[in-house]
Structure 1
Amino acid sequence: MKNKKIEALLLIIRPANVITSIADVLAGIAIVGYLNYSGVDNTLFLHGILLSIATACLYAGGIIFNDVFDLEADKINRPERVIPSGKLSLKEAKIAGIVLFFIAIMATFLVSLFSTLVALGVVVCALSYDKYAKHNTFLGPINMGMCRGLNLILGMSIITSLDAKYYLISLLPILFVSAITLTAQKETKGKNKLAIGLAMLLDLSIVVGFLFIAQNFNFSLQKAGVFLAFWYGVNVVAKINAIVKNQPKLIMKAVKIAVLSLIPLNASYVAGFSSVTNALLVLCLLPISLYLSKKFPVT
């Protein structure tokens, strides 16, 4: 019974997605220059670990409450999901989500007050999306995007005295995750060509955003170029397929690819702000996430 509960928890938190959130934090750490340090800084290393634990728990907790609030709809549209199928009770899911949020807040408290405030912001945004904004065509994508934007800032919070202009970079994951959310709208029914077309425009705006970063920050577009091209290419192909054949299966595949592609997108930040070597290390999270995506749900 215990093993079945653990399996149910793994199913509901979508481990492949959780890995992408760790890449967000690593990207944030790279943006503020902390991956460029030579030697070993034990405090810095510990804070990086704590922020990685925090982001994993925040994402997992948010995903759990997504399914908690979706229970009635999932009974009809996705009865195979963990809660409606009875693999995990509603009460057990709520307790798991609360515990994960608590662990995240405690982990960030050990880093700084600023990190804690950012984590609390992620909790508020996640719950507001899960409960209210999800079904709003305009607010839903923005709300979900803010979760990822704050997640990137969570990585940046490893340093508290940061020039405010760096927070502008968080607009890029907000745009991209808004694009993912647009793509996911009506994914169980299809007929969302317009939403996917808008998502493709948002993807293109992110490329423009990287040009802006290269002009206004100490960022090497040359180093980041290959990673950025890889991210953009896989998303363009997936979204075009989902538009041409606007079927639930292809839409869900486009969403899955977009979620996992957050890792090469984050590797783009790392390459430009740090080094190609560090970016390749972040990119190593992708095969792990891909493997987990074959074992556990992504969308």
Structure 2
Amino acid sequence: MPLSQKLRAYLQLMRPANIVTAIADILAGAAASGSILLITNGEAAGGDDSSLINLLWLVVATIGLYGGGVVFNDVFDAKLDREERPERPIPRGDVSVTEGAILGGVLLVGGILSALQVSIKSFIIAVAVALCALLYDAWGKHQRIFGPINMGLCRGGNLLLGVSLVPAAIADYWYLSLIPIVYIAAITMVSRGEVHGSSRSALWGGVGMYSAVIVSLAVVAFREEAHWSALLFLGLFASQIYPPLFKAIRYAEPQFIGKAVKAGVISLIILNATFVSIFASALFGLLVLLLLPLSIGLARYFAVT
């Protein structure tokens, strides 16, 4: 097999469009901890760049953690995918199960070691995220109730990884991780009908959980006195997640459910941009939003689900 084809297969396993959303998680956590403003003010004053370096380490960490997690998803699902997802790299024969496991292991270990460069707390959170990802891949995804929560814990932990740039901030802002936990749990619940279709009750449950996320973000925005900018971001967020989900409810067919899931995953960037606008500024939120076209562009070439 040509090297270029092998590399593309590895990238397909890692789901690059999704990794961009994980980077946005780190930026959202960094904003909540005050690190983004600290970095900006430090550079303006000619100070040291340690905060920026630590932020870059955590970006590398989340690439490894998320990439490794989704690679192991396909490793554990190799047998099932031969029947339901034959287009994926492992059942297609482009990557063996052993090669996938090695790639996933290298990515997870690399992510954990990168987090260790920042602090012990970052290291502990990274280990927890890696374990949650493996638990989901091997067992959690098959659990009707715990599965969506398990997947949500991975994202909530990823946000906390960003907050850990200022370790003391974890105690003040740990509750923010509940928002991505609920949101990802909703996407995971909706995605279960992507292959064979889904009941409308589960899809309506997704609508309710999406609404809880929006209300929670609005409450956080008012608490932080970031009313108007956050509302604009929330309006954009709602405009991206609801229409495809309501279409999926109308038809309850796999192709529409898949589009709803894809929209939910990519809209994580808007969710994180909202966090950044609340805790840093609307301008920084817009900068994070620039990751959206990158993720959408990658999603045209690499599968999101």
Report the TM-score, using the length of structure 2 for normalisation: 0.95
Q: Any unmatched runs of 5+ in structure 1? A: none
SS at match of 1:7: helix
**Where does residue 119 of structure 2 map in the other structure?**
112
**Where does residue 95 of structure 1 map in the other structure?**
102
CA distance in structure 2 between the partners assigned to 1:163 and 1:142 by the alignment = 21
Tell whether the 8 Å contact from 1:185 to 1:192 is kept in structure 2 after alignment.
Answer: no
| Structure 1 residue 219: Cα displacement | 4.5
Distance 1:163 1:219, change over 3 A: farther
CA distance in structure 2 between the partners assigned to 1:42 and 1:165 by the alignment = 24
Q: Counterpart amino acid of 1:85?
A: R
Matched, 1:54 2:67: no
CA deviation profile, 1:6-41 (whole Å, cap 9, x unmatched): 111011111000000000000000011111231324
2:50 maps to which of 35, 43, 52: 43
CA deviation profile, 1:125-178 (whole Å, cap 9, x unmatched): 000001101021111100000000000000000011126231001100000000
Q: Counterpart amino acid of 1:28?
A: G
| Structure 1 residue 221: Cα displacement | 2.5
Distance 1:122 1:219, change over 3 A: farther
CA distance in structure 1 between the partners assigned to 2:198 and 2:69 by the alignment = 27
CA distance in structure 1 between the partners assigned to 2:225 and 2:92 by the alignment = 48
Q: Counterpart amino acid of 1:18?
A: I
1:214 maps to which of 202, 207, 221: 221
SS at match of 2:300: helix
Distance 1:178 1:69, change over 3 A: same
Matched, 1:33 2:31: no
Matched, 1:274 2:280: yes
- How many pairs were matched up? 298
Q: Counterpart amino acid of 1:50?
A: W
**Where does residue 191 of structure 2 map in the other structure?**
184
**Where does residue 70 of structure 1 map in the other structure?**
77
CA distance in structure 2 between the partners assigned to 1:263 and 1:107 by the alignment = 23
CA deviation profile, 1:40-83 (whole Å, cap 9, x unmatched): 24101100000001001100000000001111110111111111
CA distance in structure 2 between the partners assigned to 1:285 and 1:124 by the alignment = 27
CA deviation profile, 1:64-119 (whole Å, cap 9, x unmatched): 00001111110111111111111001110000000001111111111000000000
Q: Counterpart amino acid of 2:211?
A: L
Report the TM-score, using the length of structure 1 for normalisation: 0.97
| Structure 1 residue 191: Cα displacement | 2.8
1:296 maps to which of 288, 293, 302: 302
CA distance in structure 1 between the partners assigned to 2:265 and 2:202 by the alignment = 17
CA distance in structure 1 between the partners assigned to 2:281 and 2:202 by the alignment = 35
**Where does residue 17 of structure 1 map in the other structure?**
18
Tell whether the 8 Å contact from 2:115 to 2:126 is kept in structure 1 after alignment.
Answer: yes
Q: Counterpart amino acid of 2:107?
A: L
Matched, 1:244 2:250: yes
- 1:105-184 pair list within 5 angstroms: 105-162=112-169, 164-184=171-191
| Structure 1 residue 215: Cα displacement | 4.7
Distance 1:34 1:132, change over 3 A: same
**Where does residue 193 of structure 1 map in the other structure?**
200
Q: Counterpart amino acid of 2:247?
A: N
Tell whether the 8 Å contact from 1:185 to 1:195 is kept in structure 2 after alignment.
Answer: no
CA distance in structure 2 between the partners assigned to 1:149 and 1:219 by the alignment = 23
